[in-house]
Amino acid sequence: MQFSPNPNSQISPNPQPYRVVVAVGGGIAAYKVCEVVSTLFKSGVEVKVILTNSAQKFVTPLTFSTLSRNSAYTDENFWQSSQPRPLHIELGEWADIILIAPLTANTLGKLVHGIADNLLTNTILASRCPVLLAPAMNTDMWEQASVQRNWELLLTDTRYHSTGISSGLLACDRVGQGRMTEPSEIVTHIQSLFHTKGDRALTGKRILISAGGTREFLDPVRFIGNPSTGKMGLALAQAAQHRGGNVTLVHAPINSNIPHNIKSIHCTTAEEMRQAMIEELWNQDVIIMSAAVADVKPRNYSKEKLAKKELPETLPLAPVPDILAALASRKQTHQQLIGFAAQTGDIITPAMEKLQRKNLDAIVANPIDQPDSGFGYDYNQAVILDKQGNRFDIPHCSKLQMAHQIFDFVLKSGAL
Ligand code: CTP
C-alpha cells in the first residue's frame, strides 16, 4: 500500500518521502522487524536502521541494509569519527519518526532515566520527533513491578507512543503477555504518526464505530449481504486509537484481524448490531456508522438448511431496523453522530437527504462506482457534509488517511 508521499493529501502535504529510524533491540522479535522495514520501504518510506549489540545476536545489519536499501548502523559506527557530524545527531535530526522494536526491558530502563550509552539511546536523546515503542519480552519480565513502573513512567512523556503488547505463545514457550505487536499494526501506527505528527487530540474521548456488512440469513447457509469488508471501519478505529481515543468497534464479519488494543464486539445481523450500538451509546463522544447494513431480511428463517428444491421462487422480504435512526433518537446533545452514504452517480443529493432524514451531525458520502475506491479496496474518496452546511472534499487516498481526515474534520468543527 503506497502511503507516502501522498500527492492528494489536503492536510500537511509532504513533498519529501517520510523518514523513519528503526531502532532494533535484542529480542527474538527482532526477526519480525525485518518485515516492518521491508513494508515501509515498499510504501515509499526512507528507512535507516540502528541495531544494538544484542540485536545483532538475532539479526544482522546486512539484513536491514538489504531490506531498506539504506544504511544499518551499529555501535561500531557510533564510535567511528568518519562522519562530518556525530552519527546520533545526524540520525536524530533526520528522522520524522523513530520506532523502537522490540523494546527490551534494558532499553526501557535507560530511556526512563535518560541514560545514553549506545547509538540507540543517544539518538533518542538527540531527537525531538515522536517515538513509537513496540515492547516484547517474556511474561514474567514484562510483569515485573520495576518494568511496569518504568513503562508507565515513560508513557507520561507525550513524545512516546505505544503499540501495546500482545498475548499468545512466546518464544520461551510461555503463553501470556509479551508478544510484540504484529508488523502490519506497527506499520499502520507509523502511518498514523506521519499524519498526526504525534498529536493525540482524541485523548479522553470515547469513539464508537461500526464496521463490515451485516448478514440476514434465510437458513443456516444462505444470507442477504453486501461486499463490505470492514476496511474503512477498521481504519477509523485504528486512526482514533492512534490519536489517543478510547475505541469500541462493533463489527459484522470482517476480513482483517482487529488490533489487540481495540475493544471489539462481534455481531452478524442488523438487529444484533442495533442492540450492541444502543448498549454502547451512552458514554460515547463520537459515533460513526460506517457499517454497510442490509436494508432487508428474508421474512422467514428456516433453522434447517433448505434443499435446493425447497428454495422459494420469490423471496418475501421484511425491513431491518434503521440503526442510525435509533441512535439519533437516543443521543445526547454533546454526542457527534456521523453516518456514511455509499452511492453511485450523484453522491451529494442522496447524502444530504440522509443527513437530514437520519438527524445526523455529519455524513461521509463516498462513491462506489469509481476505480480503486469503496468496498474491499485499500483506498477511498469522499465528501463530508455536516448539518451546518459545511462541505469537505477528501480526494482519493488510503482508507487510513481518509479516517484521519474525518477526525480532523470532527476536531476542527469544535464539537468535541
Ligand atoms: N444504516 C443504518 N441502518 C440501516 C441502514 C443503514 O444505520 N438499516 C446506516 C448506514 O450504516 C450508513 C447510513 O445509514 O451510515 C446510510 O446507509 P444507506 O444504506 O446509504 O442508507 P439507507 O437509509 O439504507 O438508504 P438507501 O439504501 O435507500 O440509499
| 168 phi/psi in degrees, rounded to 5 | 150, -160
Q: What strand order describes the sheet that includes 46-51?
A: 72-73, 46-51, 19-24, 97-103, 131-135, 160-162
For residue 290, the CA-to-ligand 1 centroid distance in Å is 9
378 C-beta closer than 6 A to ligand 1: no
The answer to whether residues 97 and 132 touch, using CB atoms and an 8 Å cutoff, is: yes
For residue 260, what pLDDT is reported? 87
Q: CA 289, CA 293: separation in Å to the nearest integer?
A: 9
CA distances from 318 to 147, 277, 299, 322, 355 (A): 57, 21, 5, 13, 24
271 C-beta closer than 6 A to ligand 1: no
CA distances from 413 to 79, 225, 233, 303 (A): 51, 34, 21, 49
Q: Provide the b/e sequence for 141-177 (b: ≥16 CB within 10 Å).
A: bbeeeebeebbeebeeeeebbbbbbbeeebeeeeeeb
For residue 15, what pLDDT is reported? 65
Q: Which cell is 258 given?
A: 482487529
Residues of the chain with pLDDT below 70 are 1-15, 81-82
pTM of the model: 0.93
Q: CA 131, CA 21: separation in Å to the nearest integer?
A: 9
DSSP structure class, residue 56: G
Supply the residue whose CA is at minimum distance from atom 3 of ligand 1. Answer: 322
All domains of the chain, ordered by start, with CATH?
Answer: 19-196 (3.40.50.1950), 206-412 (3.40.50.10300)
For residue 341, the CA-to-ligand 1 centroid distance in Å is 7
340 C-beta closer than 6 A to ligand 1: yes
CA distances from 158 to 95, 100, 223, 250 (A): 17, 16, 47, 29
For the CA of 292, the closest atom of ligand 1 is 11
360 C-beta closer than 6 A to ligand 1: no
270 C-beta closer than 6 A to ligand 1: yes
For residue 20, the CA-to-ligand 1 centroid distance in Å is 41
For residue 2, what pLDDT is reported? 39
Report the residue among 251, 277, 293 best suited for mutation to probe ligand 1: largest number of ligand atoms under 8 A from its CB: 293
The answer to whether residues 11 and 159 touch, using CB atoms and an 8 Å cutoff, is: no
For the CA of 323, the closest atom of ligand 1 is 7
What residues contact residue 53 under an 8 Å CB cut-off, 6+ apart? 26, 74, 75, 118
323 C-beta closer than 6 A to ligand 1: yes
406 C-beta closer than 6 A to ligand 1: no
For the CA of 327, the closest atom of ligand 1 is 7
Q: Which cell is 126 given?
A: 538527540
CA distances from 166 to 106, 131, 151, 169, 203 (A): 19, 19, 15, 10, 22
For the CA of 339, the closest atom of ligand 1 is 15
For residue 403, the CA-to-ligand 1 centroid distance in Å is 19
Q: CA 363, CA 389: separation in Å to the nearest integer?
A: 11
Q: Give residue for cell 527482532.
A: 30
Supply the residue whose CA is at minimum distance from atom 18 of ligand 1. Answer: 341
Report the residue among 208, 281, 322 best suited for mutation to probe ligand 1: largest number of ligand atoms under 8 A from its CB: 322
Q: Where are the beta strands (DSSP E) in 164-215?
A: 166-169, 175-179, 206-211
339 C-beta closer than 6 A to ligand 1: yes
Nearest 10 degrees: Cα torsion 390, 395, 396, 401: -70
Note the pLDDT tens digit of each residue in 256-273. 889 988 999 999 999 999
Catalytic annotation, residues: 172
362 C-beta closer than 6 A to ligand 1: no
For residue 13, what pLDDT is reported? 46
For the CA of 343, the closest atom of ligand 1 is 20
DSSP H/E element including 402: helix 399-412
DSSP string across 115-169: ---SHHHHHHHT--S-EEEEE---HHHHHSHHHHHHHHHHTTSTTEEE---EEEE
